Amino acid sequence: MLIQDLSATKRKFFLTLVQKRVKSGTGSGINFLSQRTWNNPVTDLKSILKQAPFVVVGGIATRMYMPERMTLDIDILIKAENSSLIYQDLKNAGAKKVGKLSIGGSQWQLADTTSLDVLEGEDSWVEEALSHPNYAPDGLPIISLPYLILMKLSASRTQDLADISRMLGLAKNEELNQIREVIINYLPTAQEDLESLIMLGKLEMDN
């Protein structure tokens, strides 16, 4: 409860600040904002993680839903009960464990020196997120937009909230309704903040 309260406080502060400063339009053309690229190569995790499902989350996952931005590490989500299988695959591929994550999971360095954060999910929605990914051009399973928004709202770091606003601004009405349903079911205290972020995102897109 304390973590959720802290995240809610951060969201309120962010939204209050942005609403004072936001202006219509981003300075970028809608054609650019609508582009989905996969120019920065990503380690082929499919060839490493073979025993249990995973989805890519975090900064790399946002490439599916907004213009690509550089990020130096890979974040994936797995079911906590499958962690031993995932970690055995990583060890077999020459990866080294660096440490534990405060949010549950661990950090690894892959054989190609890529940093990999493995998030161990125990929430009821994780199974659904793992079962219905979207797929990147290179075939990597990417978490669907509603559950990516859920994760970023739960974390509510400044970069997360900025990503949410832009992704929501570019989302279609059908996607927005799916996102609203997921937030109502799994993070109902964030409904008002979600609507504010949708409004800010649409305003940024001059929409």
Span 51-91, pLDDT tens digits: 999 999 999 999 999 988 777 799 999 999 999 999 999 99
Cβ distance 74 to 33 under 8 Å? no
Looking at the fold, whether 113 and 139 belong to one and the same domain comes out as: yes
Q: What is the mean pLDDT of residues 172-190?
A: 96
How high is the pLDDT of residue 3? Answer: 39
Report helix, strand or coil for 84.
Answer: helix
pLDDT range class, residue 1, cuts 50, 70, 90? very low
Dihedral sign for Cα atoms in the order 45, 35, 148, 25: positive
Q: Which of 143, 172, 193 is the last residue of a domain?
A: 143
With a pLDDT cut of 70, the percent of the chain lying above it is 81
Looking at the fold, whether 149 and 90 belong to one and the same domain comes out as: no
Which residue segment(s) compose the domain that 123 sits in? 32-143
Looking at the fold, whether 70 and 139 belong to one and the same domain comes out as: yes
Looking at the fold, whether 122 and 162 belong to one and the same domain comes out as: no
Cβ distance 83 to 108 under 8 Å? no
Looking at the fold, whether 185 and 90 belong to one and the same domain comes out as: no
pLDDT in tens, 97-119: 999 998 889 999 999 999 999 99
pTM of the model: 0.84
pLDDT range class, residue 148, cuts 50, 70, 90? very high
Instruction: Answer yes or no: is pLDDT of 120 > 80.
Output: yes
Residues in the chain: 207
State the helix-helix crossing angle for 145-155 and 2-21, rounded to 10 degrees. 100
Q: What is the mean pLDDT of residues 26-44?
A: 66
Instruction: Answer yes or no: is pLDDT of 5 > 60.
Output: no
Instruction: Answer yes or no: is pLDDT of 34 > 80.
Output: no
Instruction: Tell me the C-alpha distance between 147 and 111, whole Å.
Output: 29
HSE, CB side, 13 Å, CA atoms: give it for residue 169: 24
How high is the pLDDT of residue 57? Answer: 97
Residue 126 C-alpha from the chain's centroid: 13
Q: Which of 126, 143, 160 is the last residue of a domain?
A: 143
The residues pairing with 100 across neighbouring beta strands, listed in sequence order, are: 106
How high is the pLDDT of residue 72? Answer: 75
Looking at the fold, whether 151 and 135 belong to one and the same domain comes out as: no
Residue 103 has phi, psi (to 5 degrees) of: -90, 5
In a domain, 199, yes or no: yes
How high is the pLDDT of residue 150? Answer: 97
In a domain, 194, yes or no: yes
In a domain, 75, yes or no: yes
Looking at the fold, whether 131 and 162 belong to one and the same domain comes out as: no
In a domain, 150, yes or no: yes
Looking at the fold, whether 125 and 46 belong to one and the same domain comes out as: yes
Looking at the fold, whether 107 and 175 belong to one and the same domain comes out as: no
- In the chain, how many domains are there? 2
